[in-house]
Amino acid sequence: MPQGKTTLIEHPFDIVVFGGRGDLAKRKLIPALFHLDVENRLPPDGRIIAVSRAKLSREEYRQQMREACTDCELEKFDPGAWDKFAERLDYVALDGSDPAHYELLKQALAGREQVVRVFYLATAPDLFVPVATNLAAAGLITPVTRLVLEKPIGHDLASAHEINAAIGKALSEQQIYRIDHYLGKETVQNLMVLRFANGLFEPLWNRTHIDHIQITVAEKVGVGGRWGYYDKAGAIRDMVQNHMLQLVCLVAMEPPITLDADAVRDEKLKVLKSLMPMRGADVAQLTVRGQYRAGTMDGKAVPGYLEEPDAGRASDTETFVAIKAGVQNWRWAGVPFYLRSGKRLPSRTSEIVVQFRAPPYALYPESAGAIHPNQLVMRLQPNEGIRLLMLNKQRGPGELRLRQTALDLSFNETFGGRSPDAYERLLLDVIRGRPTLFMRVDEVEQAWRWIETILEGWDREGLTPKPYTAGTWGPSAAIALIERDGRTWHEDEE
């Protein structure tokens, strides 16, 4: 165990993971809790109870999670550390939709009513309401209970409102934690620090000095294995409505009065309310839908969306979306926000690019071809860090030449050690009762209101996805979306 670490949480807790044998639990939740335990960030009296329908013994479940943590461990797996952590793990077999089964969970939690109690719903969304209702009916909701909901929360505004209203009958809003793992990423957390703790950037963070903003969330993988879920969602519901709009909020929000959770979320809500709605035929000019076709990636042939092994019938679901958005307020009027996200793109990249305006006068006209606007690039993944692209004089005598160079802050090189997974931070915040990095109900529903203006426009205008070859940056229309404004998508040379 690392020396010199201090336990960040002193009070005991019980975390009950519904869907405890699912993909999220295996890949993220249990490994994150294991890392926290290895780093001595969990108190001794902290239990993890997995819930699933499968009939397993406690030891069988522990063995399954040991294998999962061995595969997910970034550093050398320590069997001794695992044995210590495994003592926290318990397992209860029950059907979350059956009220009669909750007596088993009640028995597992008996005598610990004063302990912080976290119910993490790593389940399909259609179980959110039944589980919350059954927990309340069984008397398992205490004043120190927190309920964590994974995305997606609803399929549209109506369904999101229905879920939120039903769960709101079982728990107070202060007890509900709607998680978006992007908000736990180091670079995302650092965005507010960069903006509000550095006098260099705050005076420049407005329409006078910023030309435009790009947000890209690109994935190399397709949707194999998740076709059934993804075909009901598409890129705009799976990525834009939650992850990307949260990034827009953090880039565009006004400084909160304090770092209190509601003060921060009030400012984010103002951004969502300021998003320019897509009216009439605007949606055809300001958005692009795409769907990947078969292609080659890393030298290997990959199938198209409709040829994936688990694909169903023909579908017009988008696997790529690009949007030119606008924030209609005093700070950002006239500054476009270009968003793009998709599957089967050339690289796995998530980044925010802030492009500043060019100097007002060309003092170096002979170097016009080398003039590039300053860009602040915040990389979320991979290689988390911040780069400031700027012009400098090339070394040497003779003719003066300019060259774009970078001030590069790599979090790994600067801070060293292992970069914690986003779920580690977010799970700690849930246990400690810190909701700042979680979405409030009005944020979720306001995001859906804006997304629905696009969805309705696509239906009204009959806009179906344009094909793009796997391994490319989406349909050519996505390039045209930004280049007809005299701008271009950022492509990092790293």
Q: What is the pLDDT of residues 38-88, one digit of tens each?
A: 889 998 899 999 999 999 999 999 999 998 888 765 567 788 999 999 999
| Token code pair at residue 104 | 């088993």
Q: Are strands 287-293 and 46-52 parallel, antiparallel or unpaired?
A: unpaired
pLDDT per position as a tens digit, 262-291 = 999 999 999 999 999 988 789 999 999 999
Most confident range (mean pLDDT) of 119-128, 325-334, 375-384 is 325-334
In the chain, % of residues over pLDDT 70: 95
| Token code pair at residue 80 | 């001794």
Q: What's the mean pLDDT when you consider all of the chain?
A: 90
Active-site hit among 209, 243, 372, 490: 243
pLDDT at residue 251 above 90? yes
Helices 157-168 and 128-137: crossing angle, nearest 10°? Answer: 10
The stretch 321-345 carries a mean pLDDT of 97
What is the rounded (10 degree) CA torsion for 190, 191, 194, 200? Answer: 160
Task: Please report the pLDDT score of residue 78 as a whole number.
Answer: 83
Task: Please report the pLDDT score of residue 79 as a whole number.
Answer: 86
What predicted TM-score, i.e. pTM, was given to this entire model? 0.92
pLDDT at residue 2 above 50? no
344 to 42, 264, 341: CA distances (angstroms):
38, 35, 10
**403 or 39, greater pLDDT:** 39
Task: Please report the pLDDT score of residue 7 as a whole number.
Answer: 55
**481 or 312, greater pLDDT:** 481
Delimit the domains of the chain by residue range.
13-150, 183-483
For the question of residue 243 being annotated catalytic, the response is yes
- Please give, one letter per residue, the 3-state secondary structure of 363-401: CCHHHHHHCCCCEEEEEEECCCEEEEEEEEECCCCCCCC
pLDDT at residue 397 above 80? no
The stretch 87-103 carries a mean pLDDT of 92
In the chain, % of residues over pLDDT 90: 70
Measure the CA–CA gap between 76 and 337, rounded to whole angstroms: 42
13-150: CATH architecture: 3-Layer(aba) Sandwich (3.40)
The stretch 192-203 carries a mean pLDDT of 91
Looking at domain 183-483, what is its CATH homologous superfamily?
A: Dihydrodipicolinate Reductase; domain 2 (3.30.360.10)
**10 or 129, greater pLDDT:** 129
The stretch 157-186 carries a mean pLDDT of 94
Q: What are phi and psi of 75, to 5 degrees?
A: -110, 180
Task: Please report the pLDDT score of residue 1 as a whole number.
Answer: 38
| Token code pair at residue 175 | 């007890």
3: confidence class by pLDDT, cuts 50, 70, 90: very low
The residue behind tokens 């997995």 is 50
For the chain, the straight-line distance linking the first and the last C-alpha, in angstroms and rounded, comes to: 35
